[in-house]
Amino acid sequence: MQTGITEFGKESGVDATQVGPAEASAEQQVKMIQDVMAQRPKAITVVPNSPEALEGVLKQAIDAGIVVVTHEAATQKNTTIDIEAFDNAAYGAKIMDSLGTCMGGSGKYAAFVGAVTAKSHMEWVAGALAEAKSKFPQITRVGDPLESKEKADTAYEKTKELLQKYPDLKGIEGSASVDVAGVGRAIQELGLQDKVCVMGTSIPSVAGQYLKDGSVDKIFFWDPAVAGKAMMKVAKLLVEGKPVGAGLDLQLPGYESIQPDPSHPKSFHGAAWIEVDKSNAANYPF
């Protein structure tokens, strides 16, 4: 993301910088936002570690006349505009389109989430299930989503248990970035690369080794550098008093026609997902 923000600054002439806490800590993030507010910037863009925990400090920023733009925080109340890479249900449907095709249009699959309390993960797997029911009526999900607790080892162990319980399982969907890596490890050890389709959200640095031999068939993600530029472009428009609304072209891949979220009036999304398999993983070195 910092790469994208630095590029935006050079391209636009805007003084654009990024700071972040050493850990994924909402408390540290609040302190950093307070420090940045003291510098009186025209805009603050933020990817909240916890949208709820940042409501207070972001309200302070807005009350001080600072434009606030958030990302990965569609439910944020104290924001001027929230910009997301995509609609979560549509993203889940996209994953199922590929998984269902890989499965030959029929069979059983299982889904992993980092935690059932992870709203985006649950929306992704719900979108995938709805797409299966609509486009692949012969595909069924076995049980409710399984929790990996954001641990590859947990996904690995639960995958082995799944395959013992459902030896005819044809597909596995992952949501946390480590899910498909843990699943892929189990598939690799069991030599099931040609029998079980594995897809989900991850990045090449986490799942790349399993893409190479087909233990993981495809991963999906969004480019944080482009997301950083999207936040900055929205912030610049708002500072200049220009409108941000449905159909706006941010002139970035996946953000050519942003659309409002009907459930969250301050949130807009693009269609900026990226699909990667072993043929193009090297194009995304992160």
CATH (domain of 184): 3.40.50.2300
Instruction: Give the residue from 240, 191, 237 showing the smallest Cα distance to 214.
Output: 191
Are 211 and 252 part of one and the same domain? no
How confident is the model over 42-51, as pLDDT tens digits?
999 999 988 8
How confident is the model over 169-212, as pLDDT tens digits?
999 999 999 999 999 999 999 999 999 999 999 999 999 999 99
Are 107 and 95 part of one and the same domain? yes
Mean pLDDT over the full length of the chain: 96
Range of the domain at 22: 2-86+223-275
CB atoms within 10 A of CB 41: 17
pTM, two decimals, is 0.86
Domain assignment of residue 285, yes or no: no
Q: What is the pLDDT of residue 270?
A: 97
Are 229 and 115 part of one and the same domain? no
Are 72 and 119 part of one and the same domain? no
Q: What is the pLDDT of residue 271?
A: 96
Q: What is the pLDDT of residue 25?
A: 85
How confident is the model over 122-175, as pLDDT tens digits?
999 999 999 999 999 999 999 999 999 999 999 999 999 999 999 999 999 999
Are 7 and 102 part of one and the same domain? no
Does residue 88 carry a pLDDT above 80?
yes
Domain assignment of residue 284, yes or no: no
Does residue 72 carry a pLDDT above 90?
no
